[in-house]
Amino acid sequence: MTDAGLELAAEAVSTPAPRERLFHRLWSRRGARLLYRNTVVSIGVFAFGLALLWVLVEQFNVAKLPAAAVSFLAANTMHYVFGRTWIYSGTQRKVAAGYAYFIVNAAFGLIITLLLFSGFMALGMNYLVARVVTSLFAGLALFVLNAVLNFRSL
């Protein structure tokens, strides 16, 4: 085998598969830093969204499921602003395109949220507790989608 052939063979052996590369990127120091920042922002916007949910349900008598959807989308719009400026600073994606991707990801997160939220409530869980538990699953899914696909930071 030629030297070039040996180099290609060595590269093929040492280059991880795409799934393995993603795993290493997610579990890297950069991934941890982005997840930390995302968690800080998520807690803040989640508190805002939870408060908005409470106000809509308790003060304005909005049905719980539509109120959960409205509060989720409001919190995610706020999250995008912080995402662009702090979590994923330096992204090359244009603002409008990034927001569009973020909202598409949020729609996926909304589906997860509404399904789990309604499922937990059907099991008798308090709507605020159901929303907190649901956020753990939806939040991690959205972090991966935004870090990898939207902001291309990992």
**Backbone φ, ψ for residue 13 (5° rounding):** -75, -40
- For position 17, what pLDDT does the model report? 54
8 A C-beta contact, residue 141 and residue 113? no
Domains in the chain: boundaries: 27-150
The token duo for 101 is 């991707």
Cα 106 from Cα 49, distance rounded (Å): 14
Q: What is the pLDDT along the chain (154 residues), one digit of tens a residue?
A: 555 444 434 444 444 456 668 788 888 998 999 999 999 999 999 899 999 999 999 999 999 989 988 998 898 889 999 999 999 888 888 998 998 999 899 888 889 888 999 999 999 999 889 988 998 888 888 899 999 888 888 8
8 A C-beta contact, residue 150 and residue 102? yes
DSSP 85-102: IIITTT--S-HHHHHHHH
Burial class of 9 by CB neighbour count within 10 A (0 to 12, 13 to 18, 19+): exposed
- For position 51, what pLDDT does the model report? 96
- For position 5, what pLDDT does the model report? 47
pTM: 0.70
The token duo for 86 is 């702090």
Count other C-beta atoms under 10 Å from residue 49's C-beta: 23
